[in-house]
C-alpha cells in the first residue's frame, strides 16, 4: 500500500486551539478554557505560563479578579514574575465565568458534623460567611477539584467547597448550594497569548461575520490590531495617574521594594493619555499587555449599577412578610377588594392558610373601561383594616403617580402592575413613598428592561424592591401568559433583589395554578403571590384563576409554610396530616436505604453497626430539633430511627452477632 498523498488543503488547516488552565477537569478554569478551544490542564500557574511561553498551548486562561473577593493574588503574582523575567505576554481578552460554589461532602455527612472544609485559598476568601457559620477548620488545597477528591478519599467529617461538577465527579453529595458571599459571583479570566501566537492566529482567523453566524461570539476574542489596555505598574505616582484616568486597579500586596504595585485595566479612551502622563519619572515604566478595547466583554447589564452590581442578597421584611436570603413567603388574597365584608372574610382565610401578606386591588387596571375599576381609597381602608384584623401586611397596586402618596399611608407594599412596569413617572414617584415596592414584569418587557425599571425605583429612593414574574405574552393562547421561569433564573443571576412569581396571572385558569406554583418554587423563587376567592364564580375580577382557600391551604402545606396562629384545629390538623404523610414516606425511604446499605456492607465485609455514624445521626437530629425539642426527645427520635434501621439491616441475627 502506498501512503495517501498529502492533501495541501489539510496542511494549512489550523489545529484546534489548545487553551491551558491551572487546575483539574471540572474546575472553573477548565470551563473558561473550554470556551476558546481544547482545554489543557496544568498543575500550577507557573507551569501554565511556562507552557504558553514554549508554545505548548496557544493561549492560557488566568483567573484575575472575582466579583466576591477582588484580585486573585496567586495567579497574578505568577504572571507578574513571568513579566519581571522579561517575557512578553499579551492579555488579548477577558472571559467571565459565573461561579457557583457548593459545599459538598461524602454521602451521609451532616452539615453539623463537618469539622474540616477543604478548598483553594482564594475560594475560601469568597465564602467567609460559610466559614464563620460552620465553625470548621479550613484546609487549603491546590485546586477545588483536588479538594473534592481528597475529601471523598479520606472520608470523615470533612467537606469541600468546589463546583457542582467537581463534587459530582468526586462522588460527593451537595450539602449547600451557592455558598459564595455575594450573588451573582463570577471570576474574570484573562486570556493570555504570546506575540507569536497572536500573529499566527491573525493569519488564519475567519472573518468576524463567519464567527458570529457560527454562534461563537461568546468565546475567545478574535484577533484585531493590538492596542495597549491591560498594564502592569509599580509606584504610587503611576497608580494615581491610572486611577485618575478611570482605570480599574487590580492591586497586589506590596513589598518593601514596591509598596504599591499591580495590574490595571485602562479604558480605551484613556490609553494614550495614561501613556503620555506616565512617561519619565523615577518609577518603573508601565508595562502594557496589549489588548484592544473591544476584546473585553462588557458587563452584562451596563448602566444599571443599583440593580445589577454585585451586592449581598437582601431580605425584605414588612411585618410577618419576610422574603429573600432563604426566606420564602406566600402573598395571597383576592384580585380585587370587592366589599368590606368580602375582604375581611378572605383575609381570615388567607391568614389561616399560612400566607404572610394579604393582597387586594383597589385601583384595578381593566382592559375594558366598562369593567369594575375598583373601590379606590375606600377599598384600601377596608383592606388595611382586614389586614390589621388578622395581623398581615397588605399589598395593593398603585396605578398613577397621584395615588402614590395617599396609598402609601395605608399600604405596606406598593405593587406596580405589569401594565405599568415601564411607567417611569410612576416608578420615580414611588421613590418618596417610603414603602417596599413589588414590581411586576410587564408582559412585553425583557429581563433587562425589567431590571432597568427596578433601577428607576432604587435610584428614586425605594429601599426594598421585590421583582415579580407574572407571565409574559407569547404566541401561546392556551394560558393567559407564559410564566417565564427562564427569565426568573436569568434575572437571579443578574441581581441581588428578591424575585417572586405570580402563577395566577400567568395561568389565567385555576387548575393550572398549583402546577405553575410548584414549578416556580422549584426554580427557587423567594415567594409567590396568588389570587384567592371563596366564590370565584361571583368574583368581580379574575375569578377563573382564583384558588379556593382550601387549594391555598394545600399549597402552603406542600411548601412547608406554617398555617397562621389563627388557624382552627381542623386547619392545623390538615397541616399536621401533610407533615405526617411526608414523615411516613421519608421513614419508609430511610428504611429501604438501610436495607440497601446493609447489603452493600455485607458485600464489602463491613460491620453493620458503626458507632461513629450513629453519633453523627444523633447529632444531626439534636441540631435540627435544638429549638423545638432541646431535651432528650431528639435523642429518643434518633434512637428509634436507628433501631428501626438496624432491624431492617438484620442486626442481631446470629451472623452479625458473631462478626463483631
Ligand atoms: C393583579 O395583581 O391583580 C394584576 C393586575 O396583576 P398584573 O399587573 O400582573 O396583571
Ligand atoms: Mn388579578
Q: Ligand 1 within 6 A of 533 CB?
A: no
Ligand 2: centre distance to CA 296 (Å) = 45
Residues 450-473: tens digit of each pLDDT: 999 999 999 999 999 999 999 999
Q: What is the mean pLDDT of residues 68-73?
A: 87
pLDDT at 156: 83
Residue showing cell 505560563: 49
Asked if the model's pLDDT at residue 297 lies above 50, the reply is no
CA gap 471, 501 in Å, rounded: 9
505 touches ligand 1 (CB under 6 Å): yes
Question: Ligand 2 mean position to 433 CA, how many Å?
Answer: 23
Q: What letter would DSSP give residue 183? A: B
Indicate which residue's Cα is closest to atom 9 of ligand 1.
418
Would you state the cell numbers that stand for residue 151, as one nine-digit string?
A: 475529601
Pairing of strands 90-99, 185-193: antiparallel
Cα 473 to middle of ligand 1, angstroms: 14
335 lines ligand 1 (CB under 6 A): yes
**Taking 90 as the threshold, does the pLDDT of residue 183 lie above it?**
no
Nearest CA to ligand 1 atom 3: 335
Separation of 368 CA from ligand 1 center, angstroms?
15
**Cell output for 186:** 463570577
508 lines ligand 1 (CB under 6 A): no
Q: How many alpha carbons fall within 13 Å on the CB side of residue 603? A: 6
Q: What is the pLDDT of residue 295?
A: 26
Give residue 546's Cα distance to chain centre: 31
Distance 366 CA to ligand 2 centre (A): 9
Confidence of residue 353 (pLDDT cuts 50, 70, 90): very high
Q: Is the pLDDT score of 212 beyond 70?
A: no
142-156, 177-191, 291-305, 406-420, range with the lowest pLDDT:
291-305
Per-residue confidence at 494, pLDDT binned at 50, 70, 90? confident
Q: Which atom in ligand 1 lies closest to the alpha carbon of residue 361?
A: 3
pLDDT of residue 201: 61
Supply the pLDDT for residue 269. Answer: 77
What is the predicted pLDDT for the residue at 173? Answer: 92
Return the ligand number nearest the Cα of 471: 1
The confidence score (pLDDT) of residue 110 equals: 87
Q: With bands split at pLDDT 50, 70 and 90, how would you rate the model's confidence at 152?
A: very high
Dihedral of CA atoms 212, 218, 220, 225 in degrees, nearest 10, equals 60
HEC secondary structure over 563-603: CCCCCCHHHHHHHHHHHHHHHHHHHHHHHHHHHHHHHHHHH
Burial, 104: exposed, middle or buried (Cβ in 10 Å; 0-12, 13-18, 19+)?
buried
Is residue 205 scored above 60 in pLDDT?
no
For the residues 152-162, what does the mean pLDDT come to? 93
Distances (CA, A) of 59 to 196, 200, 236, 441: 11, 12, 32, 42
Confidence (pLDDT) at 2: 38
Mean predicted confidence (pLDDT) in 109-125? 89
What's the CA-to-centroid distance between 556 and ligand 1, angstroms?
Answer: 21
Could you tell me if the CB of 440 is within 6 A of ligand 1?
Answer: yes
Q: In Å, what is the CA distance from 249 to each residue of 20, 92, 554?
A: 25, 18, 54
Q: How do residues 514-551 score in pLDDT, each as one tens digit?
A: 999 999 999 999 999 999 999 999 999 999 999 999 99
- Non-local (6+) Cβ contacts of 547 within 8 A are 332, 504, 510, 513, 514, 530, 531, 532, 533, 555
Judged by its nearest atom, the ligand closest to the C-alpha of residue 541 is 2
Name the closest-CA residue to atom 8, ligand 1. Answer: 417
Per-residue model confidence as pLDDT tens digits over 31-64: 999 988 999 999 999 999 999 999 999 999 999 9
Distance between CA atoms of residues 521 and 529, nearest Å: 11
Give the pLDDT score at 275: 76
Of all atoms in ligand 1, which is nearest to the CA of residue 471?
9
Per the model's pLDDT, the better-predicted residue between 281 and 620 turns out to be: 620
Which residues are close to ligand 2, an ion, with C-beta < 5 A?
Answer: 335, 542
**At 659, is the pLDDT very low, low, confident or very high (cuts 50, 70, 90)?**
very low
- CA 558–ligand 1 middle distance (angstroms): 25
- Does the pLDDT of residue 653 top 80, yes or no? no
Contacts of 156 (CB under 8 A, 6+ apart): 115, 116
Q: How far is CA 31 from the centre of its chain?
A: 18
Mean local confidence (pLDDT), 120-146: 88
- Higher pLDDT residue, 502 or 494? 502
Query: Tell me: the pLDDT tens digits for 215-271?
Result: 333 344 434 434 448 999 999 889 998 998 889 999 999 888 888 999 999 887 787
| pLDDT over 50 (residue 645) | yes
Ligand with minimal distance to 420 CA: 1
360 ligand 1 Cβ < 6 A:
no
Bigger pLDDT: 653 vs 549: 549
Q: Which ligand is nearest to the CA of 419?
A: 1
Instruction: Please state, as a whole number, how many other Cβ atoms lie within 10 Å of the Cβ of residue 549.
Output: 20
Residue where the block lists cell 449581598: 312
Which is nearest to 379 in space by CA: 352, 350, 348, 411?
411
pLDDT digits (tens, 9 = 90+) for 562-607: 999 877 899 999 999 999 999 999 999 999 999 999 998 888 788 8
336 CA: nearest ligand 1 atom? 3
Whether 433 lines ligand 1, by a CB cut-off of 6 Å, is no
Asked if pLDDT for residue 282 goes beyond 90, the answer is: no
> Span 645-660, mean pLDDT?
69
Measure 542 CA to ligand 2 centroid, in angstroms. Answer: 5
The set of long-range contacts for 515-523, using a CB threshold of 8 Å and a minimum separation of 24, is 516/483, 517/555, 518/558, 519/483, 519/485, 520/469, 520/483, 520/485, 520/488, 521/328, 521/559, 523/485, 523/488, 523/489
Ligand nearest to the CA of 529: 1
Looking at per-residue pLDDT, the higher value among 355 and 490 belongs to 355
Q: 365, 416, 513, 530: which to mutate for ligand 1, most atoms within 8 A of CB?
A: 365
Residue identifier of the C-alpha nearest atom 10 of ligand 1: 418
573: left (phi over 0), alpha (psi -120 to 50) or beta: alpha
pLDDT at 206 over 50: no
The model carries a pTM of 0.60
Q: Is any atom of ligand 1 closer than 6 Å to the C-beta of 229?
A: no
Best of 418, 438, 516, 546 for a ligand 1 pocket test (most atoms within 8 Å of beta carbon): 418
Q: In the predicted model, what is the mean pLDDT of the chain? A: 87
Q: Give the distance (Å) from ligand 1 centre to CA of residue 410.
A: 19
Residue 378 has pLDDT above 90, yes or no: yes
Is the distance from the beta carbon of residue 418 to the nearest atom of ligand 1 less than 6 Å? yes
**Residue 576 has which C-alpha cell?**
399536621
Tell me what pLDDT residue 15 has.
66
Higher pLDDT, 132 or 19: 19
CB-ligand 1 contact for 417 (6 Å cutoff): yes
Query: Residue 387: its pLDDT value, please?
Result: 98
Q: What pLDDT was estimated at residue 19?
A: 95
Tell me the mean pLDDT in the region 279-295.
67
Amino acid at each position: 500500500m502506498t501512503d495517501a498523498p498529502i492533501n495541501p488543503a489539510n496542511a494549512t488547516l489550523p489545529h484546534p486551539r489548545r487553551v491551558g488552565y491551572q487546575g483539574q477537569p471540572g474546575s472553573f478554569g477548565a470551563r473558561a478554557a473550554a470556551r476558546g478551544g481544547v482545554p489543557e490542564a496544568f498543575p500550577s500557574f507557573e507551569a501554565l505560563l511556562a507552557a504558553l511561553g514554549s508554545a505548548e498551548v496557544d493561549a492560557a486562561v488566568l483567573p484575575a479578579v472575582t466579583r466576591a473577593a477582588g484580585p486573585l493574588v496567586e495567579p497574578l503574582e505568577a504572571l507578574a514574575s513571568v513579566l519581571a523575567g522579561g517575557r512578553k505576554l499579551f492579555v488579548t481578552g477577558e472571559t467571565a465565568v459565573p461561579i457557583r460554589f457548593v459545599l459538598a461532602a461524602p454521602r451521609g455527612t451532616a452539615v453539623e458534623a463537618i469539622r474540616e472544609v477543604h478548598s483553594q485559598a482564594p475560594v475560601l476568601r469568597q465564602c467567609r460567611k460559610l466559614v464563620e457559620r460552620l465553625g470548621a477548620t479550613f484546609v487549603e488545597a491546590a485546586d477545588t477539584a483536588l479538594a473534592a477528591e481528597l475529601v471523598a478519599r479520606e472520608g470523615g467529617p470533612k467537606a469541600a467547597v468546589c463546583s457542582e461538577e467537581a463534587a459530582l465527579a468526586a462522588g460527593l453529595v451537595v450539602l449547600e448550594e451557592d455558598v459564595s458571599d455575594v450573588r451573582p459571583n463570577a471570576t474574570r479570566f484573562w486570556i493570555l497569548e504570546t506575540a507569536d501566537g497572536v500573529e499566527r492566529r491573525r493569519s488564519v482567523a475567519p472573518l468576524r461575520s463567519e464567527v458570529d453566524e457560527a454562534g461563537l461570539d461568546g468565546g475567545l476574542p478574535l484577533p484585531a490590531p493590538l492596542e495597549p489596555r491591560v498594564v502592569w505598574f509599580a509606584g504610587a505616582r503611576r497608580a494615581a495617574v491610572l486611577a485618575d484616568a478611570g482605570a480599574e486597579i487590580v492591586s497586589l500586596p506590596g513589598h518593601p521594594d514596591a509598596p504599591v504595585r499591580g495590574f490595571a485595566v485602562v479604558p480605551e479612551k484613556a490609553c494614550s493619555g495614561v501613556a503620555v502622563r506616565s512617561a519619565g519619572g523615577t518609577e518603573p515604566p508601565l508595562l502594557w499587555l496589549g489588548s484592544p478595547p473591544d476584546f473585553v466583554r462588557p458587563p452584562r447589564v451596563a448602566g444599571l449599577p443599583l440593580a445589577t452590581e454585585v451586592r449581598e442578597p437582601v431580605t425584605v421584611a414588612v411585618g410577618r412578610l419576610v422574603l429573600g436570603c432563604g426566606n420564602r413567603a406566600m402573598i395571597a388574597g383576592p384580585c380585587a377588594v370587592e366589599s368590606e365584608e368580602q375582604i375581611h372574610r378572605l383575609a381570615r382565610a388567607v391568614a389561616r392558610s399560612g400566607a404572610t401578606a394579604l393582597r387586594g386591588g383597589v385601583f384595578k387596571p381593566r382592559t375594558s373601561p366598562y369593567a369594575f375599576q375598583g373601590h379606590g381609597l375606600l377599598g384600601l381602608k377596608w383592606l388595611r383594616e382586614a389586614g390589621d384584623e388578622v395581623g398581615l401586611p397588605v399589598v395593593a397596586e398603585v396605578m398613577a403617580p397621584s395615588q402614590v402618596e395617599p396609598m402609601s399611608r395605608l399600604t405596606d407594599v406598593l405593587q406596580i402592575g405589569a401594565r405599568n412596569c415601564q411607567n417611569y413617572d410612576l416608578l420615580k414617584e414611588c421613590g418618596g413613598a417610603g414603602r417596599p415596592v413589588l414590581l411586576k414584569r410587564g408582559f412585553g418587557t425583557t429581563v433587562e428592561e425589567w431590571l432597568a425599571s427596578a433601577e428607576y425605583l432604587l435610584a428614586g429612593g425605594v429601599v426594598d424592591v421585590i421583582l415579580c414574574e407574572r407571565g409574559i405574552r407569547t404566541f401561546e393562547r392556551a394560558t393567559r401568559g407564559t410564566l417565564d421561569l427562564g427569565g426568573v433564573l436569568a434575572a437571579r443571576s443578574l441581581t441581588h433583589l428578591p424575585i417572586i412569581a405570580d402563577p395566577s396571572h400567568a395561568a389565567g385558569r385555576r387548575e393550572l395554578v398549583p402546577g405553575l406554583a410548584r414549578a416556580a418554587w422549584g426554580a427557587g423563587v423567594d415567594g409567590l403571590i396568588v389570587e384567592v376567592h371563596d366564590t370565584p364564580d361571583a368574583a368581580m375580577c379574575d375569578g377563573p384563576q382564583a384558588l379556593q382557600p382550601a387549594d391555598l391551604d394545600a399549597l402552603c402545606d406542600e411548601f412547608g409554610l406554617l398555617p397562621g396562629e389563627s388557624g382552627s384545629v381542623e386547619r392545623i390538623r390538615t397541616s399536621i396530616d401533610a407533615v405526617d404523610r411526608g414523615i411516613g414516606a421519608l421513614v419508609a425511604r430511610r428504611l429501604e436505604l438501610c436495607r440497601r446499605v446493609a447489603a452493600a456492607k455485607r458485600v464489602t465485609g463491613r460491620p453493620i453497626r458503626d458507632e461513629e455514624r450513629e453519633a453523627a445521626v444523633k447529632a444531626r437530629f439534636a441540631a435540627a430539633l435544638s429549638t423545638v425539642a432541646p431535651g432528650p426527645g431528639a435523642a429518643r427520635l434518633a434512637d428509634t430511627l436507628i433501631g428501626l434501621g438496624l432491624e431492617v439491616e438484620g442486626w442481631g441475627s446470629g451472623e452479625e452477632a458473631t462478626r463483631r
